[in-house]
Structure 1
Amino acid sequence: MRLRTSRQTWDSLLITVLAFITALVISAILIAIADDRTRSAAGYFFQYPQDTFTYAGQAIGNTYRALFEGAIFNPRTAGNGTAGTLGPISETLTYATPLIAGGLGVGLAFRAGLFNIGGQGQILAAAICAGYVGFHWHLPVVLHLVVAIVAGILGGALWGGITGWLKARTGAHEVITTIMLNYVALNLLNYLLKVKGFQNSASGQAISFPVDHNAQLPLLLGSGLRVHLGIVLSVLAAVFFWWLMKYSRLGFRLRAVGANPLAAKTAGMNVERSYLAVMLLSGAFFGLAGVSQILGTNDALTNDVDAGVGFDAITVALLGRANPVGTVVAGLLFGALHAGSANMQQYTPIDLVQVVQGLIVLFIAAPAAIRAIFRIKARGASTGAELAKGWNG
């Protein structure tokens, strides 16, 4: 049994890697098409075909090199001190921090058979709570940060818990309620940013007071770099996710409900209570993402403080197959794509970064297509059930 599970795990990993490679190859073709010189050379392809291939290779190489230099290491700035050497990786970790936490939130809901697409609302609720504590309360150094973090996590948990309660008591579909709660949270924040005592009236814009220094997450690599303690908290959250789902009774119950709610109910499990619990926990993970945004990456609330993390987290959870290790790796990957995208603009339209993400999701969600392309035989269950096995295995 363990051998079979191990083979399925490696098989799933292989499909994921091949899906990523396939997305990069197709993206490379699009990069070449978007390049002006390549398109011009294509006009006389049959006379001098080498020009088309040369220009296409240069466009692809320059674009992916720019991505690497913007996200991992840029040898041309390596001599400019710590900021020059660690700047790219710092940006990758900064972007990855909320994506990891949010991906864990989506993944946990997946494991229980729910689809939490209310990450935006839960992040905003968390940012409102953590931000309010951060700029209105005045506490000692360590205590202020701890209280602000707890307030943010609770804010996200309670916002997610509304969906869980509605699901448990009325059967309301979580997709509908989470979408609606996204709008509620966004408009609530827009309202608060116009209220005296919340809005920083001195700025004359829709922005809150700045968070006190005591409540800000410490920078890990010095003042010149943005990476902060939030990345450590996100990794610790992944460890908690792993322990919860592997060793705790609650995790076992959530996995059972996700695999077959009817069988779980027949076995005496309270399915409705499980729905409430999983949405509270899922919202708490998104709450941590909101905390990292307002107490770490930003120092004041604006109406775009979520930075699209709520929806990008769905992609991260899909790529990570709702597995804590996979989610961390996927978060780092998409953090690198975000960090390197600015550099890529020198050579290709920035929209192609979004295309890469979309293609990755497309192939991850369609393992049968990857198997057909690379002629890989399915092991065990049908390919249509692979993604569900990845979530609940």
Structure 2
Amino acid sequence: MKYDLIDNTLFIKNRKNFMAQMKPKSLAVFNSNDTYPVSADSTLPFEQHRDIFYLSGVDQEESILVLFPDCPKEQYREILFLTETNDHIAVWEGEKLTKEKALATSGVKTVFWLQDLEKVFAELMTYADTVYVNTNEHYRQSVALETREDRFTKWWKAKYPAHSVAKSNPILQHLRSVKDSIELDLMQKACDITNKGFRRVLGFVKPGVWEYEIEAEYMHEFLRNRSKKFAYTPIIASGNSANVLHYIENKNQCNDGELILMDVGAEYANYASDMTRTIPVNGRFTDRQKDVYNAVLRVKEEATKMLVPGTMWEQYHVEVGKLMTSELLSLGLLDKADVQNENPDWPAYKKYFMHGTSHHIGLDTHDYGLLHEPMQANNVFTVEPGIYIPKEGFGIRLEDDLVIQENGAPVNLMGDIPITVEEIEDLMNK
């Protein structure tokens, strides 16, 4: 892995918190993701399942974590199953986790090779009444493929049909949404790398560059700072492409007078950052572009102040809608009749700002977190208002990552990433 070894006290604490919420005489199983084939002998780069990573720090394929806090055999209360490594694997694929390195990574003392899984699991099931299965219940999930978790669940249900079933996801939704200080440090590292990428791009952009060249500049800076990739597919959208919310082709040339909306973020140690900035291709905003830009920035600043413990996500978006409505009236994009006659289910401001303002971020860009529950300290949310004007050929979005505090204003993990018109113009024209 490109990242430094993470303090395993994080994973020890995460497992302890999870097990504290399990039913008596129950065990929970967490599987790695599959390595997905492309064709012939090609595969996509491996991405670890975030839940097993959260609970163990193990970042390796074909790994299984079993938690059984009530097991009468103390050594079986936490178990890792790993693919046995050997000299042949080390030569062809690189060294895998040994039992000693697995302990150092995770803090799990009992490590078996995968060939022992069925034998050990059979014994565990004689002590257990309930098995926690790890389903994906994120509000934006879209799972088209059968996962390794799915196959494992099918297997044990067929072999042990008398056991009860419980769900891991509700526990993880609560736990993963509240970040530990170690997690916040890792997220800060991801944001710092994003900062370096953005500053690099400010010195690179000029009329005639191509969107994919800008993408390459970010990737260069990310890799040289120990990020393995973008945290999500980057959006580098010049001109009217910025009005396509999920424009990812990044194929067009950037022309004098246009704006470029860049929604990018580095990952670090599987933790995501999520930044959006909008900059002028020629280094200077027009007066109209500047007016719209500053309107978006004001909404972002006011929305940020609402990220405090106790805020309800749904009501928060209602209040942000009011802020945006006021700005759109001032810009002449809406008039009073538009607002008076608006559909309550699709307010007038949605014509120019049609997406949500905030989402949880962490191990996933759209991270775990229950949106019907009040915000709490150490939740991390994005704030990303935007105004999109196809008739004028540009769209503007601004986005930072904020840590909610017990008292006071949230902490901006994006720190000193330039965001004001003056900062951006100064740096682009140095």
Tell me the TM-score normalised to structure 2 length: 0.25
**Relative contact order higher in (CA < 8 Å, ≥ 6 apart):** 1
Report which of the two structures shows the higher radius of gyration computed on alpha carbons: 2
User: Normalized per residue, which structure has more strand?
Assistant: 2
User: Normalized per residue, which structure has more helix?
Assistant: 1
Tell me the TM-score normalised to structure 1 length: 0.27
